[in-house]
Amino acid sequence: MVRYQLPKLPYSYDDLEPHIDKQTMMIHHQRHHQSYVDGLNKVLAEISGSSHPQYITSILSDLTPIPENLQKKIKFFGGGFENHRLLWEMMNPDGGGIPGGRLADSIDVYFNSFEEFKEIFSMEALSIEGSGWSWLVFNQTFNKIEIITTKNQDSPWILNKIPLLGLDLWEHAYYLKHQNLRADYISSWWNVVNWDYVSNRFSELSG
Ligand code: MN3
């Protein structure tokens, strides 16, 4: 059986300062992400008698082979594991600015301009009630990009959509620095978006 591990951050805890603070990064990575890793390993161990060689994104894409009473846990812990793994990669101290390449063209096609895309994405992120995520995803069925939001730790993979860029809107992602000011967190976060990573993901998918 696959055992998941807490992935290493691709930078130091204080590298995203002043946009994302060191203490938030440490607690978010070492405690919150670790708890999704542990929860996922535990629920996979509970699925007795069957092995799960597929990576978690394949499991999330089709939950039907998972016993019904465990599907919710897989969704939560598996989503939490993968969403955060991506979150760290989707940020970078040298991030911010605007995307390039084919992703930039696609954003212009579906959202008119990068500025309009950014505005819609931020509005959707602000409008999430309770905890959830805001995403730019690739919709394979229609071969297009879309903005979606998900509740709790739901991953875009459960909707068969591929996450390109994701923003964590749980209070644990921003409360220490921004308290209840979610809009401030969102505008800080744009400064660290790793557009190279996001654009590369898109290029590989839309090939
Ligand atoms: Mn989180």
- Lowest-pLDDT range of 32-36, 51-55, 106-110, 197-201: 51-55
Give residue limits of the domains in the chain.
22-89, 101-206
Give the pLDDT confidence score for residue 102 in this predicted structure.
94
pTM of the model as a whole? 0.95
What distance in angstroms lies between residue 105's CA and the mean position of ligand 1's atoms? 30
What distance in angstroms lies between residue 112's CA and the mean position of ligand 1's atoms? 30
d(CA 59, CA 71): 10
Domain at 22-89, CATH class: mainly alpha
Say whether 101-206 and 22-89 share the same fold: no
What distance in angstroms lies between residue 36's CA and the mean position of ligand 1's atoms? 9
What distance in angstroms lies between residue 28's CA and the mean position of ligand 1's atoms? 6
Percent of the chain exceeding pLDDT 90 equals: 90
- Please report, as a single letter, which amino acid is at residue 180: N
What distance in angstroms lies between residue 192's CA and the mean position of ligand 1's atoms? 16
List all residues 6 or more positions away from 164 whose beta carbon is below 8 Å from its beta carbon. 103, 135, 136, 137, 138, 145, 198, 201, 202, 205
CATH assignment of 101-206, among 3.55.40.20, 3.30.300.130, 1.10.10.10, 3.40.630.30:
3.55.40.20
* pLDDT digits 0-9 by tens, 79-92: 999 999 999 999 99
Q: What is the CA radius of gyration of the chain?
A: 17
What distance in angstroms lies between residue 19's CA and the mean position of ligand 1's atoms? 16
d(CA 109, CA 121): 15
d(CA 39, CA 53): 17
